A and B are shown apart, each in its own frame.
Chain A
Amino acid sequence: MKVLVAVKRVVDYNVKVRVKADNSGVDLANVKMSMNPFCEIAVEEAVRLKENGKATEIVVVSVGPSTAQEQLRTALALGADRAVLVESAEELTSLAVAKLLKAVVDKEQPQLVILGKQAIDSDNNQTGQMLAALTGYGQGTFASKVEVSGDSVAVTREIDGGAQTVSLKLPAIVTTDLRLNEPRYASLPNIMKAKKKPLEVLTPDALGVSTASTNKTVKVQAPAARSAGIKVKSVAELVEKLKNEAKVL
């Protein structure tokens, strides 16, 4: 079984992001970039499927600037077999990324596609679902457990009321939640091996996909600073404030 994993290059989760002075976007100059944590979980799940003998090949794909090769190399060091970069310097919408991934899926014909449920930069939570719609494959989003047996996959999903298990016919799309697994560290032997694994670079044009966006970013603003808390003297005062100031009761 071939598994396709999509990864995104994002600002490292440990970095405090700053908005550019002209409010045109987030300042990315000299900021540490990493693989999106949910995508790390997706890579880890694919590697575990391979280690359990369920998967035979892991192809990792990223859509983004040429520097996203760093994240693809990291995925290769974590255990993926080969990488594909769809190079685009533009900032792409979820739909454009999903269309590009659809083109890669058509080319690679994987049985299972694993994506992070969302990227920590834009927090859209859209690409996996859009890809499922475009390919017509079944989708198991927010996965906390993935079990492949025969030509189906059982995905336990984290939902508001608890957990839901869905059975999907392969090929299928799975998006990972936080508790699916704990990603491993790239070991030095695997870092050295990653250098020799193949990394193919494609362009949206070569895939025949238009990435034209219908969205335009008007303004980016930092969230308002949190104001200091206050101490209340009594429970009655607390209830009064919750009722009349916060208006939550």
Chain B
Amino acid sequence: MDFKLTEEQQMLQDTATRLVRDAYSFEAREHYAQSDAGFSLAFWQQLGELGLTAVPFPEDLGGFGGGGVDTMLLMTEFGRGLCLEPYVESVIYAGGLLMQLGSPAQQNLLQQVASGQLLLATAFEEPQSHYHLNDVQTRAEQTAEGWTLTGRKAVVIGGHQAGLILVSARISGDSRDEHGLGLFLVDPQAAGVERRTYPTVDGRKACDLYLDKVTVSADQVLGEPGQALAALRYQQGRAIAAQCADALGSMQEACRLTLDYLKTRQQFGVAIGQFQVLQHRMVDMRTELEQATSMAILAACYCDEAHSLERTRTLAAAKFIVTRAARNIAEQAIQLHGGIGMTWEYSLAHHAKRLVMLSHQFGDDDHHLKAYAALLDAA
């Protein structure tokens, strides 16, 4: 297998590395996190101007036809810089659904997404759903004008800033049925929509979405009503691959900071990295990182393939391995640092929180291990 990047990929990576290094110093990130948007609108605009928000879209939709590896290169740098922008949610996940299910008129929106002008958010989780995309209690009822939506969606990352929110709602069946799910493009300014915004543990912002008889016109429905689940799962797979790369960048930085600390901090007259028991722990962290790297690359290679059992299984395995590594590395990094590893003013603490957050978003390790086991039985 050839792991060498093409010249274009190398340049894309260089651009992302330099951009994040210049725009995302620790102090700047703190400033962005405290702002109303919760991220840097200027940075988002710059991503749009440089074409980086257009990477995964096909050329006829205003994009550059990039694949999973191209996205991986970007996400790894965003993870290293602890970037707060909702790239995965807006560009990969919601953008992917528009690309897959959108009517030609809806796909026109992609040009705005690709240029960074339109921010999308995904509202697929509910308080009871616990990572199951089919567990949906929000109801959609057909009316003369289109549809009305009623229900509550939880942890909509970037939902407070989004121009449009993709909402899953049940058209028919019981709350955990695999059939009967619809996808709707909801204008957050519409009557009956309420957003309650809060910070997440990793310093980003999310909102809970309360829908009270929200009217959605028929042309705001994505795809065939009632058949949304397959596309939701497929696109979540792409989001998982991008998220694995995000975690990878953060884990690399956590390992780098920890190794640096072990070589610097003196105790009993020597650098603490001289102590064998700490060396063992550092080696364990690097071993986890290497495994996670392999799985993140595998996920990037598989995520744009057509739906198959093999693809689903690979992505579940990648998410499991990366999640486990992310949590272990976050915890070990704090242990090896001691108290300073938890201080607000030191970036490691924020990497640890980010890694814990990523371990839960789109399913934790238990969820994906079960999914993997079920797919083994199915094979």
Residues of A near any B CB (own CB < 8 A): 14, 34, 69-70, 73-74, 77, 185-189, 191-192, 194-195
Contact of A187 with B14 in the complex, beta carbons under 8 Å? no
Contact of A191 with B8 in the complex, beta carbons under 8 Å? yes
Contacts A187-B50, A187-B51; A192 near B8 (Cβ below 8 A): yes
Q: Which residues of B contact A188 (CB under 8 A)?
A: 12, 15, 50-52, 54-55, 64
Q: Which residues of B contact A195 (CB under 8 A)?
A: 7-8
Q: Which residues of A contact B49 (CB under 8 A)?
A: 187
> Contact partner of B15 among A69, A70, A186, A192, CB < 8 A?
A186
Q: Which residues of B contact A69 (CB under 8 A)?
A: 7
Closest A residue to B8 using CB positions: A191
> Contact partner of B14 among A34, A192, A194, CB < 8 A?
A34
Contacts A185-B18, A188-B55, A188-B64; A194 near B11 (Cβ below 8 A): yes
Residue B10, interface by CB 8 Å: yes
Residue B371, interface by CB 8 Å: no
Residues of B near any A CB (own CB < 8 A): 7-8, 10-12, 14-15, 18-19, 21, 49-52, 54-55, 64
The main secondary structure of chain B at its interface with chain A is helix
Q: Which 5 pairs across A and B sit closest by C-beta, in order of nearness?
A: A188-B51, A187-B50, A191-B11, A185-B15, A186-B15
In the complex, what distance in Å separates the CA atom of A15 from the CA atom of B241? Answer: 29
Contacts A34-B14, A74-B14; A189 near B7 (Cβ below 8 A): no
Contact of A185 with B10 in the complex, beta carbons under 8 Å? no
Contact of B7 with A185 in the complex, beta carbons under 8 Å? no
Interface hub of B7, B11, B14, B49 (most chain A Cβ within 10 A):
B11
In the complex, what distance in Å separates the CA atom of A242 from the CA atom of B289? Answer: 49
Q: Which residues of A contact B15 (CB under 8 A)?
A: 185-188, 191
Q: Give me 16 A-to-B residue pairs in the complex whose CB atoms sit less than 8 angstroms apart, sorted by A's number.
A: A69-B7, A70-B10, A74-B11, A77-B11, A185-B50, A186-B11, A186-B15, A187-B49, A188-B52, A188-B54, A188-B64, A189-B64, A191-B8, A191-B11, A191-B15, A192-B8
Closest B residue to A14 using CB positions: B21
A-B contact count (CB 8 A): 42
Contact of B51 with A189 in the complex, beta carbons under 8 Å? yes
Q: Which residues of B contact A189 (CB under 8 A)?
A: 51, 64
Q: Which residues of B contact A14 (CB under 8 A)?
A: 21
Closest B residue to A40 using CB positions: B18
In the complex, what distance in Å separates the CA atom of A232 from the CA atom of B15? Answer: 47
> Contact partner of A73 among B11, B50, B54, CB < 8 A?
B11
Closest B residue to A184 using CB positions: B50
Contacts A192-B64, A195-B8; A186 near B14 (Cβ below 8 A): yes
In the complex, what distance in Å separates the CA atom of A195 from the CA atom of B8? Answer: 8
Q: Which residues of B contact A191 (CB under 8 A)?
A: 8, 11-12, 15
**CB proximity of A149 to chain B, nearest CB, Å:** 31
**CB proximity of B264 to chain A, nearest CB, Å:** 13
Q: Which residues of A contact B21 (CB under 8 A)?
A: 14
Contacts A191-B8, A191-B12, A195-B7; A185 near B19 (Cβ below 8 A): yes
Closest A residue to B64 using CB positions: A188
Closest A residue to B49 using CB positions: A187
In the complex, what distance in Å separates the CA atom of A185 from the CA atom of B18? Answer: 8
**CB proximity of A192 to chain B, nearest CB, Å:** 6
Contact of A73 with B52 in the complex, beta carbons under 8 Å? no
Interface hub of A34, A187, A194 (most chain B Cβ within 10 A):
A187
**CB proximity of B137 to chain A, nearest CB, Å:** 41
Contact of A70 with B50 in the complex, beta carbons under 8 Å? no
In the complex, what distance in Å separates the CA atom of A3 from the CA atom of B293? Answer: 44
In the complex, what distance in Å separates the CA atom of A17 from the CA atom of B357? Answer: 35
Closest B residue to A73 using CB positions: B7
Q: Which residues of A contact B64 (CB under 8 A)?
A: 188-189, 192
Since A70-B7, A188-B54 are in contact, a sample of 4 more A-B pairs with Cβ atoms closer than 8 Å, ordered by chain A residue number, is A74-B14, A77-B11, A189-B64, A191-B11
Q: Which residues of B contact A186 (CB under 8 A)?
A: 11, 14-15, 50
In the complex, what distance in Å separates the CA atom of A192 from the CA atom of B51? Answer: 11
In the complex, what distance in Å separates the CA atom of A188 from the CA atom of B10? Answer: 11
Q: Which residues of B contact A187 (CB under 8 A)?
A: 15, 49-51
In the complex, what distance in Å separates the CA atom of A187 from the CA atom of B49? Answer: 8
